[in-house]
Amino acid sequence: MKKDKIKYLISKSVKSLKEEGILKFIKKTFRYINIRFHKTKMSSFKDVLFINGCYLPHPERYRVDHQMEQLEAYGLSVNKVFYEDLDLSMLKFYRCFVFFRCPITETVDVFIDKAKYFNKKVFFDIDDLVINTKYTNTIPFVKNMNEEEKNTYDDGVIRMEKTLKKCDYIITTTEALARELKSYKKEVYINRNVASERMVELSLDAIKENKKREDEIEIGYLSGSITHNPDFDLIKDSLLKIMDEYKNVYLRLVGYLDIPDEFSKYKNRIRMSPFTDWQDLPKIIANLDINLAPIEESIFNEAKSENKWTEAALCKVVTVASDFGAFHIKIKNKETGLLCKKQNEWYKSLKYLIENPNERKRIAENAHKEVIKTSVATYSGLGLKKFMTSKLVKNFAFVLPTTNISGGVNVVIKHSNILRNKGYDVSILSMSIQEDNILNNDGEINVISTLKSDVYAIFDTMIATLWSTLDYIKMYPNVNNKLYLVQNFETNFLNWGSIAKKVANATYNSLQDIQYITISKWCENWLKKDYEKDAKYAPNGINLTQFPYKKRNFKEKIKILIEGNSDDYYKNVDESFKIVDKLDKNKYEIHFLSYQGKPKEGYYVDKFYHKVPYDEVGKVYQGADILIKSSILESFSYPPLEMMATGGLCVVAPNEGNIEYLKDRENCLLYEQGNIEDAIKKIEQLRTDSKLRDHLIKGGLKTAENRDWKKIEKEIMCLYEESE
């Protein structure tokens, strides 16, 4: 790949030297160095990323910078990067991607596949038929390449075609291009080249400063590069005749052109300008009286844009153009320009304009008004925006205070993966510095830190997940639907007298138009009863593959598992350890699982599991026989359900967050909160009564099976799809 790249760069360098000379080549070299070593910083989450695959400044300006300007003028946030600087880490920061003239590379290949995995759309933008050798082989300049140059050039064309084929949709410049490109993709959108705000500004300044002489008529031909020699041949005879007939006619040639020998007798009336930077070009154009835009008929040229007419019209200069391709479509003959089909029409058109200065002015003014109205980025981006956004899937953002493992975070991750698997674009916005993607058995979810990255993208739906995240979605401007996933009564988590307690409580009675959703019947009930908020409910579920069944052997030492953060009072871990303190340690082994707090002084622990990755938690449950859960407050208590799924037994203090699925003596044993002796009695029953154990294990497995995520996915989707 590196050797091919070096050969390609050498070929491009040789081509540039031949076409444009040493000065232009040096400028391009410095520009390439600037591109390579001043990489775009990816520090914000935006709607669109343009990936530029073109080394030439002119195409990049029209097809990347100007289209970015169009989309920004219609409310989308954008960014760009050179294709050699593309990195997979950029995938998470954009809703969609536009590859402009981009050859396939290993990174581009993987990037597009990964974008599709995340349900992000990929567009290919092209402004020339450089995507298949059947087109490029018709170019005279390509025909004249030597074998090595041709092979390198063709390799670039073939690689560009491969990128195009991998993309979802195509954006292009002209009808002729669209016609050819539809053989690749059914949907091809024509977004014509347009002028930038800066081009308009420079053109208006040039009009004010123009130095036209009334006793001279200056006709201009802006060739650009040596490849335009055949185009000039179309007008050669007419120009010779005009210059012979009108002694006050001068010819301005800009760029690289092999001037035919016949013009030598007019050398005193031929004014040459080198290949000119686009910011200086309006000064030259504004001094012209007539602009020439001949184009040789070919399938390749038919696909070219009307840029020469646009640039002249901005400077209020009339254009005489070939009645072919984009000129035929954009120019209204004798209204916004003059069109020529036959060679003798060039002479007639030039003669008409030379002898009728008022017509020159009228047509030029018409063209200027037309270009400002239809071909300036600020006013012309609606169609492009509508096309691109119509292809994007609905996107969701879950806002989390942190991605540290907890029951609530795991629910969000599961909902995110369900939505992604259903074809939606899903991100997690973490209000901490954590920005590593979440990867588990269900798949991968993008995580963006709101502390590290500014967020500008438009979202269809944004979901608050804890009380501290609601303000974020309330203040975020670019979102259509705002949801609040209530998983617990968080007011009770906070200390009396704290401002946070009041703020948390206020989130359950938001005055904004926010849809409340929940995974707890208990939460659904108190939201309605105490805050008069209707909440949509869907049951919580479990991934059974993550908590597989394992048969226990109760003939050996019974293993007791205590689960919960010892730092959180509402988890009431202290009570669980008071229970095991009174158990015979010759008969019981004590395990402790905590995602945060460590064992306190006085806790008796045989095995301590700390911050176990969620994918490994099932093994911890499999390694125990009985779970003790003493929580005072929970929205939905996962540990008993997870223990049941593995075939274990549960002794649990009932609370609002677990009675939704726990049934005493059917799938568990419930003990009275605070009654230590009652809990000990229940544990002893399980140790000695095999029939009771078998009955509860069977009931627990059935409960877990009914809560399998696969069975409740439709209900989960209703929380989000019906909220759109």
What percent of the chain is helix, strand and coil (3-state, nearest 5)? Answer: 45, 20, 35
Q: Please name the helix (run of DSSP H) or strand (run of DSSP E) that holds residue 558, with its range, or none.
A: strand 558-563
Give mean pLDDT, residues 146-165.
94
- Alpha helices (H) along 607-656: 617-622, 638-645
Residue 32 confidence (pLDDT) above 80: no
Q: What pLDDT does 186 receive?
A: 94
Q: What pLDDT does 82 receive?
A: 97
Query: In 10 A of CB 628, how many CB atoms?
Result: 27
Q: What pLDDT does 228 receive?
A: 57
Give mean pLDDT, residues 426-436.
95
Residue 538 confidence (pLDDT) above 50: yes
Domains of the chain: 2-190 (3.40.50), 197-375 (3.40.50.2000), 393-537 (3.40.50.11090), 558-707 (3.40.50.2000)
Q: Which residue has the tokens 């995938």?
A: 91
Q: Dump the DSSP string for 1-66.
A: -HHHHHHHHHHHHHHHHHHHHHHHHHHHHHHHHHHHHSPPP--EEEEEEEEE----HHHHIIIIIH
- Cα 476 from Cα 343, distance rounded (Å): 61
The answer to whether the CB of 35 falls within 8 A of the CB of 139 is no
Give mean pLDDT, residues 160-166.
97
Give mean pLDDT, residues 412-440.
95
Residue 511 confidence (pLDDT) above 50: yes
Q: Please name the helix (run of DSSP H) or strand (run of DSSP E) that holds residue 125, with its range, or none.
A: strand 121-126
- Cα 252 from Cα 454, distance rounded (Å): 49
In this structure, the strands spanning 217-222 and 290-293 are parallel
Query: In 10 A of CB 36, how many CB atoms?
Result: 11
> In the structure encoding, which two tokens stand for residue 592, read together?
């402790």
The answer to whether the CB of 339 falls within 8 A of the CB of 333 is yes
| 110-139: b (≥16 Cβ within 10 Å) or e | ebbeebeebbbbbbbbbbbbbbbbebbeeb
Partner residues linked to 410 by β-bridges: none
Q: Dump the DSSP string for 375-439.
A: SBHHHH-HHHHHHHHHHSPPEEEEEES--S--HHHHHHHHHHHHHHHTT-EEEEEESSS--PPEE
Contacts of 298 by beta carbon, 8 Å cutoff, 6+ apart: 138
- Cα 481 from Cα 512, distance rounded (Å): 11
Phi, psi of 329 (to 5 degrees): -80, -40
Q: Which amino acid is at 568?
A: D
Q: Please name the helix (run of DSSP H) or strand (run of DSSP E) that holds residue 703, with its range, or none.
A: helix 690-706
Task: Report residue 18's pLDDT band, with 50, 70 and 90 as the boundaries.
Answer: low
Task: Report residue 347's pLDDT band, with 50, 70 and 90 as the boundaries.
Answer: very high
In this structure, the strands spanning 425-430 and 443-449 are parallel
Give mean pLDDT, residues 357-381.
97
In this structure, the strands spanning 454-455 and 169-172 are unpaired
To 10 degrees, the CA torsion angle through 613, 617, 619, 622?
170
Task: Report residue 676's pLDDT band, with 50, 70 and 90 as the boundaries.
Answer: very high
More reliable by pLDDT, 356 or 138: 356
To 10 degrees, the CA torsion angle through 159, 160, 162, 165?
180
Tens-place pLDDT, residues 200-258: 999 999 999 988 888 899 999 997 555 557 888 899 999 999 999 999 999 999 987 78
Give the mean pLDDT of the chain.
Answer: 92
3-state secondary structure (DSSP) of residue 338: strand
Task: Report residue 1's pLDDT band, with 50, 70 and 90 as the boundaries.
Answer: very low
Give mean pLDDT, residues 406-431.
94
What percent of the chain has a predicted confidence (pLDDT) above 90?
81
- Cα 81 from Cα 87, distance rounded (Å): 10
In this structure, the strands spanning 169-172 and 121-126 are parallel
Nearest to 68 by CA among 98, 111, 34, 38: 98
Task: Report residue 471's pLDDT band, with 50, 70 and 90 as the boundaries.
Answer: very high
Nearest to 489 by CA among 522, 451, 461: 522
Give mean pLDDT, residues 368-391.
97
Task: Report residue 440's pLDDT band, with 50, 70 and 90 as the boundaries.
Answer: confident
Task: Report residue 11's pLDDT band, with 50, 70 and 90 as the boundaries.
Answer: low
Residue 265 confidence (pLDDT) above 80: yes
Q: What pLDDT does 37 receive?
A: 45
Phi, psi of 163 (to 5 degrees): -65, -45
- Cα 609 from Cα 594, distance rounded (Å): 6
Give mean pLDDT, residues 342-356.
96
Q: What pLDDT does 141 receive?
A: 81
Nearest to 384 by CA among 178, 191, 122, 179: 191
Tell me the Cα Rg of the chain: 36
Residue 378 confidence (pLDDT) above 70: yes
Task: Report residue 596's pLDDT band, with 50, 70 and 90 as the boundaries.
Answer: confident
Q: What pLDDT does 300 receive?
A: 87
Residue 653 confidence (pLDDT) above 70: yes
Half-sphere CA count of 446, side-chain side, radius 13 A: 26
Which of the 8 DSSP states describes residue 93? Answer: G
Residue 40 confidence (pLDDT) above 50: no
What percent of the chain has a predicted confidence (pLDDT) above 70?
93
In this structure, the strands spanning 479-486 and 425-430 are unpaired
Distances (CA, A) of 701 to 298, 352, 549, 716: 73, 92, 8, 22
Distances (CA, A) of 530 to 300, 490, 509, 533: 71, 14, 9, 8
Tens-place pLDDT, residues 70-117: 999 999 999 999 999 999 999 999 999 999 999 999 999 999 999 999
The answer to whether the CB of 571 falls within 8 A of the CB of 407 is no
The answer to whether the CB of 52 falls within 8 A of the CB of 83 is yes
φ/ψ region of 224 (left if φ > 0, alpha if ψ in -120 to 50, else beta) reads left
Contacts of 590 by beta carbon, 8 Å cutoff, 6+ apart: 560, 562, 580, 583, 604, 605, 606, 607
CA angle 323, 325, 330 (to 5 degrees): 75
- Cα 448 from Cα 452, distance rounded (Å): 8
Residue 583 confidence (pLDDT) above 70: yes
Tens-place pLDDT, residues 271-320: 999 889 999 999 999 999 999 999 999 888 899 999 999 999 999 999 99
Give mean pLDDT, residues 693-710.
96
- Cα 412 from Cα 402, distance rounded (Å): 11
